[in-house]
Amino acid sequence: MVVKVLYFGRLKELSGTTEEAVVLREGARIEDLFAACAAARPDLRKFRASLVAARNQEFAAWDTRVHEGDEIGFLPPVSGG
Amino acid sequence: MSRNGTDRVVIVREAIDTATLAREVRADEDGAVATFDGCVRNHSHGRATLYLEYEAYEAMALAKMNEIAAQVHEKFSINRVAMVHRLGRLEIGETSVFIAVSSAHRAAAFDACRYAIDTLKKTVPIWKKEFFADGAVWADGELPFTPKEPGGPVPAETPAAKPASN
């Protein structure tokens, strides 16, 4: 399956892109998706503990299963206001 | 009581017209309008700030801001809410976020306005980059979480992560 991944803030700068399409095996969870994204970019991994994930624009636990066509965002600590 | 149909919740890239928002949030049955004007200050952690840049996960940020407006109606006896956040480059003194709440009496307006800005800062996916003379940094933020309050809206999913500090 293919999912869309969005990067924001410092993750966008680290990954060098705002979004990308990632191919995953069926049954994969958000944690697996992050590992796949970080495999090519070791710098991403050290931010893992400071991130939360969103699936289709809702906060989602890292063990949430992803589905074909999902939009997954990796969100650094928010600092709006 | 007015509901979201008369609220004004938006994300903009131009200057926020705070006077107009504060005026339009008021109706004849209101006796109070409380406002919060969040603006760009000229220093951060002892360094002189040149300007800020804000970016957002825009669709999700707008959805979260609308959730906050709905929560404010449920929790407080208020009339209308205006909630506007600006993105892009902002200069010192410019308004980055503006919230106005109208109600018959002042206590609900104050409380609702405070709740709205505090919740926005914790849960809305917006990020601020601070530019200094000698470089730029992404501001230390808060790990977003979905507020879970007794009687409040229950989030569909709960993030595994919890705020690590602050």
Tens digits of per-residue pLDDT, B2-51? 445 689 999 999 999 999 999 999 999 999 999 999 999 999 989 999 99
Residue A6 lies in a domain: yes
- pLDDT at res. B141: 84
The answer to whether residue B117 sits within a structural domain is yes
Q: How large is the average pLDDT for residues B50-72?
A: 98
Q: Is residue B66 part of a domain?
A: yes
pLDDT digits (tens, 9 = 90+) for A17-48: 999 999 999 999 999 999 999 998 989 999 99
Q: Do residues B161 and B153 touch, judged by C-beta distance below 8 A?
A: no
Phi, psi of B62 (to 5 degrees): -65, -40
Q: In the predicted model, is pLDDT for residue B158 greater than 60? A: no
Q: Position of tokens 């979201």? A: B4
Task: Indicate the SS3 state at residue B20.
Answer: helix
Helix-, strand-, coil-residue percentages of chain A, each rounded to 5: 30, 30, 40
Torsion sign, CA atoms B119, B120, B124, B130: negative
Q: Domain holding B21: CATH number?
A: 3.90.1170.40
Report, as an integer, the average pLDDT of B50-69. 98
CA dist B92 and B49 (Å) reads: 8
B115 occurs within a structural domain: yes
| Structural domain boundaries enclosing B124 | 4-138
Note the pLDDT of residue A21. 97
Q: What is the pLDDT of residue B121?
A: 97
Residue A7, min C-alpha distance to chain B (Å): 9
**Tens digits of per-residue pLDDT, A40-67?**
898 999 999 999 999 999 999 999 999 9
Does the pLDDT at position B83 exceed 60? yes
A9-23, B100-114, B127-141, B143-157: least confidently modelled range: B143-157
Binary contact (B60, A73; C-beta < 8 A): yes
Q: Which residue from A10, A54, A80 is facing B54, i.e. has the nearest CB?
A: A80
Compute the distance between CA of residue A10 and CA of residue B138 in angstroms, rounded to an integer. Answer: 7
Looking at residue B105, what is its pLDDT? 98
For residues B46 and B36, give the distance between their C-alpha atoms in angstroms, rounded to a whole number.
24
Radius of gyration of chain A (CA): 12
The answer to whether the complex's ipTM is over 0.90 is yes
Identify any residues that bridge with B44 across adjacent strands, giving them in sequence order: B47
pLDDT number for residue B145: 57
- The residue range of the domain holding A25 is 2-75
Q: Residue type for B35, please?
A: T
> Is B150's pLDDT higher than 70?
no
What is the number of structural domains in chain A?
1
Residue from the list B54, B60, B96 with its beta carbon closest to the beta carbon of A54: B60
CATH of the domain at A44: 3.10.20.30
Is residue B57 a contact partner of residue A54, using CB atoms and an 8 Å limit? yes
Residue B60 at interface with chain A, using a CB cutoff of 8 Å: yes
Residue in B55, B121, B155 nearest the CB of A8 = B55
Contact A78 B164 (CB under 8 A): no
Helical H segments across B92-144, by residue range = 106-123
Residues of A with Cβ-Cβ distance to B127 under 8 angstroms:
8-9, 76, 78-80
pTM of the model as a whole: 0.88
A51: nearest CA in chain B? B143
> Is residue B162 included in any domain, yes or no?
no
**Number of independent structural domains in chain B:** 1
Confirm whether B107 is domain-assigned. yes
Q: Which residues contact B63 (CB under 8 A, 6 or more apart)?
A: A57
- Residue B157 within any structural domain of the chain: no
* Closest approach of A5 to chain B, Cα-based (Å): 12
